[in-house]
Chains A and B, each alone.
Chain A
Amino acid sequence: MAIRILVGVKRAIDYAVKVQVKTDKSGVVTEGVKHSMNPFDEIAVEEAIRLKEKKVAQEVIALSCGPAQCQETLRTALALGADRAIHVEVTGKDYEMLQPLAISKLIAAVAKKENVDLVLLGKLAIDDDSNQTGQMVAGLLSWPQAVFASKVDIKDKTAEVMREIDGGSETLRVKLPAVITSDLRLNQPRFANLPSIQKAKKKPMAKMSPKDLGVDIKPHQEYLSYEEPPKRQGGGRVASVDELISKLKEKGLI
């Protein structure tokens, strides 16, 4: 029986943009800045589409939580091959304070509502680097999880996942329904081409609010300030080992 997949996509500041901190330290500049789909989510979408092409999956649903602009990201997912999209609308201050736990609750609620067999997410988003959402979704649903996947094989409602770990790689076998998060080496995402972008405009996109899903998205953390990393100090050259030692002593390092 072909499975149904829910893929989460996040609209994040494009990876090539030089991020700037607002002068009042309350956040980073996002207005007018180029945003695109989180690169790890692109990899997750690609994996879901490949599973559909292999006929392992019958339906791919794309999900995003955020303001109206998320619909552009969802349209990209549809152009890449997803069948339909769900936009959970969170705007303004609520969106600024939207944190991984709240997002996990939203994803878990949608996964249950849509009765999917697999939740595919990026391992982390490149704006907050949290690397928490996938794990928390599994926890909330009490589903098995296989994170940092670099290879996924699904057969008979079981997934064999090779994961990237510190010592190399490890292979897990998990029973579906499960949560898998993508790592860099999982695949090379395809490009969305113009004909599929045009077709994607006609694919269904549903909009809902956290209230519709019965989820309370109140934040649990308060962001106090944002700062740029300290400027790199130049190095200096020394002429001899003695000079090196005296300089190190001067700086109180030895």
Chain B
Amino acid sequence: MSSTLRLCLHSSIVRRITPSFASSRWNSTKASSEDAPKKITTHYTIYPRDKDERWKDVNMERYAEEYDVAIVGGGPAGLSAAIRLRQLAKEQNKEIRVCLVEKGSTIGAHTLSGACIESRALDELIPDWKEKGAPLDTPVTKDRFYYLTKTSAIPIPVIKGLPMYNHGNYLVRLGKVTAWLGEQAEAAGVEMYPATAASEILYHEDGSVKGVATNDVGIAKDGSPKDSFARGMELHAKCTIFAEGCHGHLAKQLFKKFDLRKNCAPQTYGIGLKEIWEVDKSKHEPGLIIHTAGWPMDTHTYGGSFMYHILDNGQPLVQVGYVVALDYENPYLNPYQEFQRFKNHPKIRPVFENGKRIAYGARALNEGGYQAIPQLSFPGGCLVGCSPGFLNVPKIKGTHTAMKSAMIAAETVFDLLKKSTDDNKSKGLEPSDYDNLGCSPGFLNVPKIKGTHTAMKSAMIAAETVFDLLKKSTDDNKSKGLEPSDYDNRIKNSWIWKELYSVRNFRPAFHTSLGVFGGIIYSALHFVFRGKEPFTLSHGKPDHACLKEAKDCKPIEYPKPDNVVTFDLLSSVSLTNTNHDSDEPPHLTLKDDSIPTRVNLPVYDGPEQRYCPAGVYEYVENDSGDRQLQINAQNCIHCKTCDIKDPKQNINWVTPQGGEGPAYNGM
């Protein structure tokens, strides 16, 4: 494609970082090129449109469509819930209308994972997945664990009984598995809407969830309406299942509104960065898993790598990645750079030397496990998958538990839907307001010798009474979301709970003053205790409160990219194929535009310029020589790390227009 054309169509993300004197041309907000440029955020979630002059005469009406269940998110969890609901509908002969919205352009476009998955949940959901062509093609053959120092790799035995033992699992490209699940969902009759973002939760008058509204389009970068402005649509449902994945933006609102986290620990996270490489056949061993801990992390930062060798349609691929826990303390830490320098290790580098990098991406993941599971259901809906968070940290697996939680939710919701209409079916509605009907009871006026008029009137009164009764019973469903409160119980009684309970102390064991050694000691002790120990360790402070001030920390010197095995950030970001409309409000919103320059930069040296795996946040010099935050929203790959790690929790990630963000291919 011609380069001139590319420039015509959009200011390419690759050309983003420029010397400071030219930076004003590519600023993501118009304001920066004018005097006193302080306004960064223009999104209507921060500046409501009903108070905005420019929106005075705009028609804000929305179409609404009614469903039995609406599912937000087309990842493994959302799709499992959708498929399970339709399976139950078919089995029990009860038609239910299920819709699913996914902000990625296609199902799988925003999926990113290692991944080595346990097929346990898929075996339950679709037992004949192999015949149906699910892309779980590479069974695990070899499992290796190394503790790295700068120059050596100390092998650590992985024995059966430890959660890290992977025999029987599969190495997959989760994006492809998700796309396959999407096809199954479509075949099962789920109404699928990819490239559609759920941007707002809708509520009934009584405060229960009514459904979601999809994103508006045609809003300019400065927040004003364009000619192409069009409202999103309202999807009403008796029950809404939220499956947004790790740290979803709507889930964040639900936690607050229904106080779902009052009895659990704050979630703790990691950021996972990943690349896919096509390697030399001689270096390739399909089915090989390598995990490492140690270098380049210091003893007090939790992190490690994964390398999965898979054969995909004859291509010798290695899925390699690095996870850094977001409770790290040094604001100079740069997870992307840690990943790049990890690849330089003498034991790791040879694998990639003759290879070709074909993909890159990143996503936050949950590490809170059992201690951080919130209340799952609320009036009108429930949360499934990584959104509440069921990832098994020592196993580094969350897909099987996510899918299982979604299946349990589907069963609970289905039973609830059945019961609400069964109640209507098995119980005659009693129009107790009314007493008897027509000549049967007998209203003939004897002296007038007329009974018809009174018979007719009595029937009319009866009809009115019965109608009101019918209306009330469906109005109840229309004015109140169904609450799947049994879902929490069913989760507690499932294998998800047992599994997460048994490994609950692994992650916090790394958080003591012994650092990584505490974790290693616990891992050895786990053989004896198997999770039955009578204590539950805590995770400590939430991730965003863990950063030390920059003045108390040492900057880290990272090696320059060699463009053979290690690369610069921007060429990596272009591999994500991410894109956002250049003329829409930045979806990385700041509650207070002044905090980056008042707090983040002076106190923490702007950690967002280092933890963002897509180069969204930059501090550039403006005309007066002061440094100011510039948000390159176009680069965003929807990983959610900034919303998690921002020390003042000033960054609020909201969804951009549907169909935007990364276009991962089988990540």
Q: Smallest CB–CB gap between B270 and chain A, Å?
A: 27
Q: Chain B contacts of A34 at CB under 8 A?
A: 105-106, 109, 577, 663, 665
Q: Chain A contacts of B176 at CB under 8 A?
A: 32
Is the beta-carbon distance between B10 and A15 smaller than 8 angstroms? Answer: yes
Pick the residue among A16, A19, A23 that contacts B578 (CB under 8 A): A16
User: In the docked arrangement, what's the CA distance between A15 and B217, Å?
Assistant: 20
User: In the docked arrangement, what's the CA distance between A24 and B9, Å?
Assistant: 30
Q: Smallest CB–CB gap between B423 and chain A, Å?
A: 31
Q: Chain B contacts of A17 at CB under 8 A?
A: 577, 663
Is the beta-carbon distance between A18 and B233 smaller than 8 angstroms? Answer: no
CB proximity to B under 8 Å, residues A1-58: 14-20, 23, 29, 31-34, 36, 39
Q: Chain A contacts of B227 at CB under 8 A?
A: 188
Q: Smallest CB–CB gap between A116 and chain B, Å?
A: 27
Q: Chain A contacts of B196 at CB under 8 A?
A: 194
User: In the docked arrangement, what's the CA distance between A127 and B6, Å?
Assistant: 11
CB proximity to A under 8 Å, residues B187-219: 193, 196, 214, 217-218
Q: Does A168 contact B (CB under 8 A)?
A: no
Closest residue on chain B to residue A16 by CB atoms: B579
Contact with B along A112-131 (1 / 0, CB 8 A): 00000000000000110100
Q: Does A213 contact B (CB under 8 A)?
A: no
Q: Does B232 contact A (CB under 8 A)?
A: yes
Q: Does B597 contact A (CB under 8 A)?
A: no
Closest residue on chain B to residue A184 by CB atoms: B8
Q: Chain A contacts of B299 at CB under 8 A?
A: none
Is the beta-carbon distance between B665 and A23 smaller than 8 angstroms? Answer: no
Closest residue on chain B to residue A20 by CB atoms: B358
User: In the docked arrangement, what's the CA distance between A31 and B176, Å?
Assistant: 11
Q: Does A198 contact B (CB under 8 A)?
A: yes
Is the beta-carbon distance between A23 and B9 smaller than 8 angstroms? Answer: no
Q: Does B369 contact A (CB under 8 A)?
A: no
Is the beta-carbon distance between B1 and A15 smaller than 8 angstroms? Answer: yes
Q: Does B624 contact A (CB under 8 A)?
A: no
Contact with A along B228-248 (1 / 0, CB 8 A): 101111000000000000000
Is the beta-carbon distance between A129 and B193 smaller than 8 angstroms? Answer: no
Is the beta-carbon distance between B65 and A190 smaller than 8 angstroms? Answer: no
CB proximity to A under 8 Å, residues B395-414: none
User: In the docked arrangement, what's the CA distance between A126 and B106, Å?
Assistant: 20
Contacts A36-B105, A126-B5, A191-B218 given; indicate if A14 touches B577 (C-beta within 8 A): yes
Q: Smallest CB–CB gap between A169 and chain B, Å?
A: 16
Pick the residue among B231, B278, B575, B663 that contacts A14 (CB under 8 A): B663
Q: Chain A contacts of B106 at CB under 8 A?
A: 34
User: In the docked arrangement, what's the CA distance between A172 and B63, Å?
Assistant: 43
Q: Does B574 contact A (CB under 8 A)?
A: yes
Contacts A16-B578, A20-B358, A32-B176 given; indicate if A193 touches B665 (C-beta within 8 A): no
User: In the docked arrangement, what's the CA distance between A29 and B577, Å?
Assistant: 14
Closest residue on chain A to residue B6 by CB atoms: A15
Q: Chain B contacts of A191 at CB under 8 A?
A: 217-218, 228, 230, 657
The winner among A20, A34, A126 for most chain B CB atoms within 10 A is A34
Q: Does A195 contact B (CB under 8 A)?
A: yes
User: In the docked arrangement, what's the CA distance between A188 and B231, Å?
Assistant: 18
CB proximity to B under 8 Å, residues A174-205: 184, 188-191, 193-195, 197-198
Q: Smallest CB–CB gap between A11 and chain B, Å?
A: 13
User: In the docked arrangement, what's the CA distance between A31 and B108, Å?
Assistant: 13
Q: Does B356 contact A (CB under 8 A)?
A: yes
Q: Chain A contacts of B175 at CB under 8 A?
A: 32
Pick the residue among B6, B233, B579 that contacts A193 (CB under 8 A): B233
Contacts A191-B218, A191-B230 given; indicate if A16 touches B8 (C-beta within 8 A): no
Is the beta-carbon distance between B228 and A39 smaller than 8 angstroms? Answer: no
Q: Smallest CB–CB gap between B221 and chain A, Å?
A: 14
Q: Smallest CB–CB gap between A127 and chain B, Å?
A: 7
Pick the residue among B214, B230, B579, B665 that contacts A32 (CB under 8 A): B665
Q: Chain B contacts of A36 at CB under 8 A?
A: 105
CB proximity to B under 8 Å, residues A126-174: 126-127, 129
Q: Chain A contacts of B356 at CB under 8 A?
A: 23
Q: Chain B contacts of A184 at CB under 8 A?
A: 8-9
Q: Chain B contacts of A198 at CB under 8 A?
A: 65
User: In the docked arrangement, what's the CA distance between A39 and B579, Å?
Assistant: 14
Q: Smallest CB–CB gap between A38 and chain B, Å?
A: 11
Closest residue on chain B to residue A21 by CB atoms: B356
Q: Chain A contacts of B331 at CB under 8 A?
A: none
Q: Chain A contacts of B578 at CB under 8 A?
A: 16
Q: Chain A contacts of B5 at CB under 8 A?
A: 126, 129
Q: Does B385 contact A (CB under 8 A)?
A: no
Q: Smallest CB–CB gap between B577 and chain A, Å?
A: 4
Q: Does B2 contact A (CB under 8 A)?
A: yes
User: In the docked arrangement, what's the CA distance between A250 and B109, Å?
Assistant: 50
User: In the docked arrangement, what's the CA distance between A26 and B358, Å?
Assistant: 17
Is the beta-carbon distance between B575 and A18 smaller than 8 angstroms? Answer: yes
Q: Smallest CB–CB gap between B105 and chain A, Å?
A: 6
User: In the docked arrangement, what's the CA distance between A14 and B1, Å?
Assistant: 11
Is the beta-carbon distance between B9 and A15 smaller than 8 angstroms? Answer: yes
Is the beta-carbon distance between B577 and A18 smaller than 8 angstroms? Answer: yes
Q: Chain A contacts of B575 at CB under 8 A?
A: 18
Chain B positions near chain A (C-beta within 8 angstroms): 1-2, 5-6, 8-10, 63, 65, 105-106, 108-109, 175-176, 179, 193, 196, 214, 217-218, 227-228, 230-233, 278, 356, 358, 574-575, 577-579, 657, 663, 665-666
14 contacting pairs across A/B (C-beta < 8 A): A15-B6, A17-B663, A32-B179, A33-B663, A34-B105, A34-B663, A36-B105, A127-B1, A191-B218, A191-B657, A193-B231, A194-B63, A194-B233, A197-B193
Starting from the known contacts A34-B663, A195-B65, 18 additional A-B residue pairs (CB-CB under 8 Å) come to A14-B105, A15-B6, A15-B10, A16-B579, A16-B663, A17-B577, A32-B108, A32-B665, A34-B109, A39-B9, A126-B1, A126-B5, A193-B217, A193-B230, A193-B233, A194-B232, A194-B233, A195-B63
3 A-B pairs with the lowest CB-CB distances in the bound complex, closest first: A16-B579, A34-B663, A191-B217
